[in-house]
Structure 1
Amino acid sequence: MAREKSWQDIIPVADLMKGDATPVQFGARELAVFDTVEGVTVSMARCTHGAANLCDGYFDGKTIECPLHQGLFDARSGEALAAPARVKLRMLESRVQDGNVQIYI
């Protein structure tokens, strides 16, 4: 029987790096929590091209640049915006609730 999905706390909002990407370890998952100009979003932390941790890259509030080969992703939608990145980021459904960032898994 499959487990039902539910909202899970991953980090208090107060612990986020304001206007930046914050790395979060959630079980075996490495996540990137982005404090974007439009709100908080969450993706898998590894670049889809070279597997570098995106939290080490340059973030401008909308896009995250991979620190390894400078591939570019939209941190709000996950879309790959610049080569060599071609595969979009896996984004997780997320929200801010009761002072915590949560993901729906």
Structure 2
Amino acid sequence: MAEFVRVASTDDVKPGTGIVAETNGKALALFNLDGTIYAIDNTCVHRGGPLGEGDLEGEVVTCPWHGWQFNVKTGGCVNNPAAKIDTYQVKVEGTDIKVLL
């Protein structure tokens, strides 16, 4: 059964940036977009690059390995509309960032 799991603190994800957070054997990429936290799969579907280490510009993160781009809100791939990564429901309680896993 899915449950919300604490993955990071709001202090860990500065506005306009992303981080990699690992929990329950899963690597997630967390992004702070104008004060709202988004969580996506950390693994780029192209070659497995770490999306949480990519540059965030607007709603789009660029994979640091080969430049594939993904919308952090929808998981949609800008380069290949047929490709998509998983997104996760996020809730913030105080300074805790929790993701539904």
Please give the TM-score of this superposition, normalised by the length of structure 1.
0.85
CA RMSD of aligned residues (A): 1.7
Q: 1:78 aligns with which of 68, 72, 75?
A: 75
Paired with 2:73 and 2:62, the residues of 1 have a C-alpha distance of: 13
The aligned counterpart of 1:92 is 88
Instruction: Report the 3-state secondary structure (helix = DSSP H, G, I; strand = E; otherwise coil) of the residue aligned with 2:11.
Output: helix
* Equivalent position SS for 1:81: coil
1:11-90 counterparts in 2 under 5 A?
Answer: 11-37=8-34, 39-83=36-80, 86-90=82-86
- 1:6-64 C-alpha deviation (Å, 9 max, x unpaired): 21111111122331011111121111001113611001101011101012222113100
TM-score, with length taken from structure 2: 0.88
Q: Which segments of 5 or more consecutive residues in structure 1 lack a partner in the other structure?
A: none
Query: What stretches of structure 1 move > 2 A for 4+ residues in a row?
Result: none
Q: Which has the larger radius of gyration?
A: 1
- Residue 71 of structure 1: how far off its partner (Å): 0.8
Identity of aligned residues (%): 17
